[in-house]
Structure 1
Amino acid sequence: MKTLRLGVAGWWLLWLVIQIGMPVRATETVSVPAEVRAILARIQPATLRAHTELLSDDLFEGRAPGTRGGLLTAKYIAAQFQTYGLEPLGGSYFQNVPIVNLRAIPTTMTFRAASGATVELAYGTEFTAQSGECLPEVRFDDVPVVFAGYGIVAPEYDWNDYKDVDVRGKIVMLLVNDPGLHNPSIFQGRTLTYYGRWTYKYEEAARQGARGVLLIHTTESATYPWQVVQSSNTGTRSELVRDANSPPVVALKSWITDDAAVRIAQLGGKRLATLIEQAERRDFRPVPLDTTLSLHLKSEVSTLESPNVVGWLPGRDEKLRDECVVVTAHYDHFGVKEDPASGQRLIYRGALDNASGVAALLAMAEALGKSDWRPRRSVLFLSVTAEEQGLLGAQYYCEHPLIPLEKTAANINLDEVNVFGRTRDFVPLGAERSTLGKTIDALAKLEGLVMKPDPFPQNGSFFRSDHFCFAKAGVPCLSLNFGVEVEGKPEGWGKQRFDTYVRRDYHQPTDTIQEDWDFRGAAQHAQFALLIVATVADDPAMPDWLPGEAFQRKKT
């Protein structure tokens, strides 16, 4: 994947420079019709709270794909769409996504040195494991383990962690993130690139012919604690059903703790710290660890369908109504899991992630659907499934679009809506990569808001939600994230509040509605998102990526 060598500040500077030199567009200065103002005023905090409370209630059982709670959620969303006057597509409000569900049965992972010494890891507390091929049973008997640094092949950065060593049929142990994490002069510094994402690590290892991957977790490199790995990668996991056109996969997808990685390296007479130091350099070459891995992984496997939910609002212009703006928000979370220590049944309610985003999407759909005003283009409201499993619902939609992608003007994504109070700023992730940036900037000035770059660039948020599938498919997109300058709060309060959420509640059973949540922020978030949607859908010009951007519209 082509990636320009720019940090997050560099992207915004590039956007500014290019925009200054581009021809004036209709959206450079904008005005908001009175009809649109009236539509925005329909979105009220009480509506956002009501939807969020219901969707994160125990009744919905954590909204896991393919479960009773997940299907109940999809039916609720579809019923709301119908009530708002949105139309189905192809006669249905559902696009069924074929999914394989796997639940690994806890086991032990064993590493063995030539001397016969062993290290054993316990499932859940020290490692997680999944069959990449979605098989009910797979065995790994004394498979050699190789440390392959960050597992990155990036010609534009003159970087190849797999050079000169054949890893075919072997297990590769990899660092999470990319080399810029500790060296601001390479890659994009602490701004995470796609090369640093765990999804890329699995993809590249498969291309290299590796049989399996061990991802070394640290809170710094992953940007979340081990408890998030546990909750996200144990219990039931999902994959899209594979076919003849599917790309290769590794047989083993696994995370291990940092302490486990230290012990594995020591077993073969190596120091992990030394290996990491070597991996920070361009001349690094993979290092055989002189250990082997053995694992007998059994899984409960089932094939099912989990729906994306679609609601279509036709535009008013006869020439443009076959084009659309897609609004996305994933409805799934992690369902119900059993605490291995206590045996207690835990519901992962996902109030902020992403009942709040679905609540905003529904409020926007209701406000626009029940009004008499329509933009020139149509609007497709799309609540997708299985985002938490690797953006599966959005990936499936982009591979099987209900509206041709070349007629999709833009995607506006909502993932975790602001529940901490009204803010003076927003973070339109990805807007700086396309002409959407100019539209957003003009609307922000009109609304007295400040658009800021990602305050957490090390998290790689641009690659972590459904809009990224649209970007890869060539559709200009953004994910509207909330800012941290909360009205009436001291400087730094918003960032601290979000940091607390990530540390304590992200992907945990404790992601529930809190007493101090202020849904005036959610209403503001949904209103600004709908303003963007209405403006882009009503603009005769089609948004496009900026020159030189890694993503471009597909040629027809």
Structure 2
Amino acid sequence: MERPSAFQGLEAAWLHEGIADFEVSRVLSLGDHWMAGRYMPIVQDAVRRHRELPLPLDELSSFENLPQEQVELAYAQSWSVVSFVVERYGLAGLRRLTAETIASGDTATALRTALGVDMEAFQADWREYVLAGGVPDDLASLARRFDADQALAHIAVLSSPAYGGRAAGTDGADRAAAYIADQFAALGLEPLGDPLTVTESSERGYLQWLPISHTHLITTPALVLLDAEGNVLHEFTHRQDFVESAGEGVVEGKLVWVRSGDLAGMRFGGAVVLEWDVRDPVARAAQLADHGAGGLIVATDKEPEDLQAESPTPASESAVGIPVFEITEAAFETLLGRVGVEYPDLASSPPALPLGVQVRQSLVRSPVTTTLTANVLGLLPGSDPGLAGEMLVVGAHYDHIGQLPDGLYFPGANHNASGVGALLEMARVWRAQGYRPARSVLFVAWGAEELDSAGVAYYLDHPAVPLTRTVGIIALDSIGGGRGYRLLFYGIQDHDLPLAQRLEAAAARLDRRAWRRGSTGDGWQALFNSVGIPTLKLIWDKAESDFYLPTDTADRIDLERLASSGEILTLTVSWLASR
């Protein structure tokens, strides 16, 4: 195939191939970022191992005679040099360089004539650009404007008692959604939720309402061990000795140890079953209920805080009609002591063994009803007519697990008021500094994530913007600290490459630390990933240990870690949205 006439006389293969890859990147969604994900690590590695250009430009008139191991580097370096020229001198500079290279046939001469720089200075500037990951200086400065104290102020509000733990379907969650909507309005984001009235010309609000199934505890769950006459032997303490896992109901019946997974021939007649370390308590409870069990107690080797950190399965998501509790290892030992047996006796027992005592289990919930909760959607339209039709989504769920009947509430400061606070602070920084992204950016606070990501599932069925225009997702979850020592980001190497590479480069430029996990990760972003949209999830290492503890309060947010997460977030999103 002959070259276009405009390229006739362009003998420098590096420039021709670099321009070709650069132009390809301009017609792909996130194309520049895809190219960077593919080529930048190759170029950076080569630059770190060479003082000069890894492959001298004046020797790259052709790639045909290069050793095979250098061909990929030649393409990567060519793309990188062209991208650097555009970044530093603009498209006009690239055009001048191309014209002068055709005219002179000499790269050094073309650089002096077109760009006013000699080869040595150009190489030095390019090396610095590569080692910095290509991060634009102005965006790095913008990211450092992220104010962790400002983000913390939002976290403190959302995790305060006035919001009651923000359980989806409660007044607390509705107040949280209204607060976030007010912040979106103050930040100048365009509402992208439901129409405010039923008329076709109605303005839109920030809230996208969705139906959910809702229930709540009416009384504090109880677990009491009784002797054969019904006298109390021991009362276990909720959330210290046991937690509810699923189901509902009040039952008082004999306690039966079950060692066998096979229930054939067993009928329990309303007895409460005690088993060790059941992998799926909900499924097992359904099996036991079919055989007449009145309740299930699962003994574990967990400490109290380990049990507390697990989110219970709402009754609305489980068809189990019997109460299901999990108890700590210490509570199991207490129970065995009261019964007068030892675990080795149980390990060698018959498949089912009555323990000679009774148990009272109480797990009383309100009837399951259908109610509404909301996603909160605010759009910052892109400034570039050629890119504004593409949209990045930056999201964090705002809901949590609410409160108990005795008034104990779960603040959910880190999980996940921290994610909401960070996206609000990023939007504030952009507005305060006059930054306007080229691509459109949708800021979303998701509702009902704790209900199997119901808010995201609803949005995917009712997108505010066609999903074909959504080019990437950044998910924020518990980014204000964790029991580990590093910020993690989840993304698949090939599928999520442009997002992951830019975040790695952003963290390095800011002298912050972030570690990649080579999977999509658990959470709402997986639903977007499953429909082919690149995703990235940010979460602090081992934050999950404190997800559902009442001690997840705003005063325990680590400001330095929040600042690190926020700066990386701001630079990554600003960069992805800028070109």
Partners of 1:76 and 1:412 in 2: CA distance = 22
Partner residue of 1:490? none
Quote the residue 1:65 is aligned against: 168
Work out which of the residue numbers 518, 525, 538 in structure 2 matches 1:467. 525
Question: Contact 2:512–2:568 (CA<8 Å) still a contact in 1?
Answer: no
Q: 1:450 to 1:228 in 2, by over 3 A?
A: closer
Q: Distance in 2 between matches of 1:287 and 1:262?
A: 20
Q: In the alignment, residue 426 of structure 1 is paired with which amino acid?
A: L
Change (3 A) 1:31 1:294: same
Q: C-alpha displacement at 1:80, in angstroms? A: 1.0
Of residues 401-410 and 68-77 in structure 1, the stretch that sits farther from structure 2 once superposed is: 401-410
Which digits, 9 at most, give the CA deviation of each residue in 1:172-231, with x for residues without a partner? 867669xxxxxxxxxxxxxxxxxx7xxx653687699978764444436x9x444546xx
Q: RMSD between aligned alpha carbons?
A: 5.3
Render the CA deviation track for 1:135-167: whole Å, top value 9, x for unaligned. 7x576877976457xxxxxxxxxxxxx689799
**Equivalent position of 1:94 in the other structure:** 207
- Aligned residue in 2 for 1:300: 366
Asked whether the equivalents of residues 265 and 289 of structure 1 are also in contact (C-alpha less than 8 Å), the reply is no
SS of corresponding position for 1:478? strand
Q: Which amino acid aligns with 1:381?
A: F
Displacement of 1:100 in angstroms is 0.6
Residue 549 of structure 1 is matched in structure 2 by none
Distance 1:419 1:127 in 2: 27
1:363 is displaced (CA, Å) by 0.8
Instruction: Say whether 1:328 aligns with 2:443.
Output: no
Bigger mean CA offset, 71-80 vs 313-322:
313-322
Contact 1:64 1:70 in 2 (8 A): yes
Q: Could you give the per-residue CA deviations for residues 258-307 of structure 1, whole angstroms, max 9, x where no partner exists?
A: 2444577899998657988x9xxxxxxx9545579875643223633222
Q: Paired residue for 2:243?
A: 128
Distance 2:340 2:416 in 1: 45
Cα distance in 1, alignment partners of residues 289 and 527 from structure 2: 25
CA distance in 1, matches of 2:173, 2:553: 17
Q: Which amino acid aligns with 1:410?
A: G
Question: What's the counterpart of residue 563 of structure 2?
Answer: 523
Taking the aligned partners of 1:387 and 1:357, their CA distance within structure 2 comes to 13
Aligned to 1:492: none
More helix by share: 2
Aligned residue in 1 for 2:479 = 417
One-letter amino acid of the structure 2 residue matched with residue 525 of structure 1: S
* d(CA) in 1 for partners of 2:342, 2:562: 48
2:215 is paired with a residue whose SS is strand
Which of these residues, 317, 328, 337, is aligned with residue 257 of structure 1? 328
Q: Is 1:366 paired with 2:428?
A: yes
Aligned to 2:574: 534
Give the partner amino acid of 2:209: N
1:429 partnered with 2:490: yes
Q: CA shift at 1:111, angstroms?
A: 8.2
Deviations 1:429-476 (A, max 9, x none): 34558424333333333333443357xx9xx9943x443554566544
- Worse-superposed segment, 358-367 or 201-210: 201-210
Equivalent residue, structure 2, for 1:479:
537
1:513 aligns with 2:555: yes
Equivalent residue, structure 2, for 1:310 = 377
Q: CA deviation at 1:47?
A: 1.6
The yes-or-no answer on 1:202 pairing with 2:282 is yes
In 2, Cα distance between the equivalents of 1:530 and 1:430? Answer: 18
Q: Structure 1: which amino acid aligns with 2:473?
A: N
1:324, 1:379 within 8 Å by CA — same for their partners in 2? yes
**Seq. identity, %:** 27
Q: Number of aligned pairs? A: 436
Equivalent residue in structure 2 for 1:352, among 410, 414, 427: 414
Q: Is the strand fraction higher in 1 or 2?
A: 1
Task: Assess, with a 3 A threshold, how the Cα gap between structure 1 residues 43 and 140 changes in structure 2: closer, same or farther.
Answer: same
Deviation at 1:513, TM superposition (A): 1.4
CA distance 1:347–1:105, shift in 2 (3 Å) = closer
Quick check: 1:356–1:417 contact (8 Å CA) kept in 2? yes
1:440 correspondence with 2:503: yes
Q: Give the 3 Å change call, closer, same or farther, for CA 293–324 of structure 1 in structure 2.
A: farther
CA distance in 1, matches of 2:574, 2:136: 10
- In the alignment, is the contact (CA less than 8 A) between 1:268 and 1:289 conserved in 2? no
Q: In the superposition, relative to structure 1, how do residues 384 and 407 fare at CA in structure 2: closer, same or farther (>3 Å)?
A: same
User: CA shift at 1:102, angstroms?
Assistant: 1.8
- Structure showing greater Rg: 2
Q: Quote how far apart the aligned CAs of 1:79 are.
A: 0.9
One-letter amino acid of the counterpart of residue 157, structure 2: L
Aligned pair 1:78/2:118, yes or no? no
Question: 2: distance between equivalents of 1:86 and 1:239?
Answer: 37
Q: Which whole-Å deviations, capped at 9, do the CAs of 1:301-332 have from their partners, x for residues lacking one?
A: 36332222221233356676554332222223
CA contact (8 A) 1:35 1:373 kept: no
8 Å contact 2:219–2:405 — kept in the other structure?
Answer: no
Paired residues of 1:375 and 1:534 also in contact (CA < 8 A): no
Shift of 1:35: 5.3
Q: In structure 1, what is the Cα distance between the partners aligned to 2:489 and 2:473?
A: 12
Q: The residue matched to 1:219 in structure 2 has which SS?
A: coil
| Deviation of the 1:77 alpha carbon | 0.5
- Partner of 1:71, secondary structure, is helix
TM-aligned CA deviation for residue 44 of structure 1: 1.9
Q: TM-score, normalised by structure 1?
A: 0.60
Q: TM-score, normalised by structure 2?
A: 0.58
Q: Distance in 1 between matches of 2:389 and 2:284?
A: 38
Q: 1:101 to 1:519 in 2, by over 3 A?
A: same
How has the CA–CA distance of structure 1 residues 293 and 226 changed in structure 2, closer, same or farther, with 3 Å as cutoff? same
Closer/same/farther in 2, CA of residues 104 and 72 from structure 1, 3 Å limit? closer
Distance in 2, Cα, partners of 1:173 & 1:437: 46
Q: Is the 8 A contact 1:239 1:392 kept in 2?
A: no
- Partners of 2:286 and 2:502 in 1: how far apart? 40
Q: Which amino acid aligns with 1:256?
A: I
Residue 56 of structure 1, CA deviation: 3.1
Q: Is the 8 A contact 2:475 2:536 kept in 1?
A: yes
Distance between the aligned counterparts of 2:346 and 2:503, measured in 1?
45
Q: Residue in 1 aligned with 2:127?
A: none
Once residues 257 and 296 of structure 2 are traced to their aligned partners in structure 1, the CA distance between those partners, rounded to angstroms, is 9
Where 1:307 maps in the other structure, the secondary structure is strand
